[in-house]
Amino acid sequence: LSIAVWMQFKGSGVCFLFPNRFGTAAYRKYSSGGGYPNISLSSPLPGIPKPVFASVDGQEKYETRITTLENGLKVASQNKFGQFCTVGILVNSGSRHEAKYPSGIAHFLEKLAFSSTAQYGSKDEILLTLEKHGGICDCQTSRDTTMYAVSAEVKGLDTVVSLLADAVLQPRLLDEEMEMTRMAIRFELEDLNLRPDPEPLLTEMIHAAAYRGNTVGLPRFCPPHNVDKIDKAVLHGYLSGYYRPERMVLAGVGVEHERLVAYARRYLLGVRPVWADVTPVAVDRSVAQYTGGIVKMEKDMSDVSLGPTPIPELTHIMIGLETCSFLEDDFIPLAVLNMMMGGGGSFSAGGPGKGMFTRLYLNVLNRHHWMYNATSYHHSYEDNHGTRRCAAWTRALLVFVLKFIDIVLFGGGVQMELERAKTQLKSMLMMNLEARPVIFEDVGRQVLSTGKRKLPHELCALISEVKADDIKRVTAKMLRSKPAVAALGDLTELPSYEHIQAALSSKDGRLPRTYRLFR
- The fraction of the chain above a pLDDT of 90, given in percent, is 54
Q: What's the CA gap between 241 and 355, in Å, rounded? A: 44
Confidence class of residue 162 from pLDDT cuts 50, 70 and 90? very high
Q: Which domain holds residue 409?
A: 293-505
3-state secondary structure of 149: strand
SS3 percent helix, strand, coil of the chain, rounded to 5, is 40, 15, 45
C-beta of residue 477 within 8 angstroms of C-beta of residue 358: no
Q: Give pLDDT, residue 102.
A: 95
What's the pTM value of the predicted model, to 2 decimals?
0.83
Q: Is residue 280 part of a domain?
A: no
| Nearest residue to 69 via CA among 274, 283, 242, 249 | 249
Residue 281 belongs to a domain: no
Say if 473 falls within a structural domain: yes
For residues 268 and 248, give the distance between their C-alpha atoms in angstroms, rounded to a whole number. 10
User: Does 210 share its domain with 338?
Assistant: no
- Residues 436-446: what's their mean pLDDT? 96
Q: Within its chain, how far is the Cα of 186 from the centroid?
A: 25
Judged against a pLDDT cut of 80, whether residue 237 lies above it is answered with: yes
Does 342 share its domain with 207?
no
Q: Is residue 15 part of a domain?
A: no
| 263, 369, 393, 430, 495 from 519: Cα distances, Å | 71, 20, 19, 48, 15
Instruction: Answer yes or no: do 404 and 330 share one domain.
Output: yes
Q: Is the pLDDT of residue 131 over 60?
A: yes
| Residue 423, in any domain of the structure | yes
Q: CA 374, CA 451: separation in Å to the nearest integer? A: 36
Cα 136 off chain centre by: 19
Q: Supply the CATH number for residue 306's domain.
A: 3.30.830.10
How many folded domains does the chain comprise? 2
Residues 308 and 258 in one domain: no
| φ, ψ of residue 86 in degrees (nearest 5) | -125, 120
Instruction: Kindly state whether residue 501 falls inside one of the protein's structural domains.
Output: yes
The answer to whether residues 323 and 254 belong to one domain is no
Residues 469 and 325 in one domain: yes
Same domain (yes/no): 457, 381: yes
Higher model confidence: residue 372 or residue 1? 372
Q: Are 81 and 218 contained in the same domain?
A: yes
Inside any domain, residue 221:
yes
Question: 321 and 195 share a domain?
Answer: no
State the DSSP code for 195.
S
Report for 65-69, 289-293, 397-401: range of highest mean pLDDT: 65-69
Residues 393 and 317 in one domain: yes
pLDDT greater than 70 at residue 286: yes
- The span from the CA of 200 to the CA of 344, in Å, is 16
CA distance 463 to 187: 43
2 falls within a domain: no
From 212, 235, 268, give the residue that closes a domain. 268
Pairing between β-strand 484-489 and β-strand 293-298 as defined by DSSP bridges: parallel
* Same domain flag for 494 and 379: yes
DSSP 40-57: -TTSPPTTPPPP-PPP--
The torsion of the CA quartet 471, 477, 480, 486, rounded to 10 degrees, works out to -70
pLDDT band at 275 (very low <50, low <70, confident <90, very high): very high
Please check whether residues 339 and 441 belong to one and the same domain: yes
pLDDT category of residue 406 using cuts at 50, 70 and 90: low
SS3 state of residue 137: strand
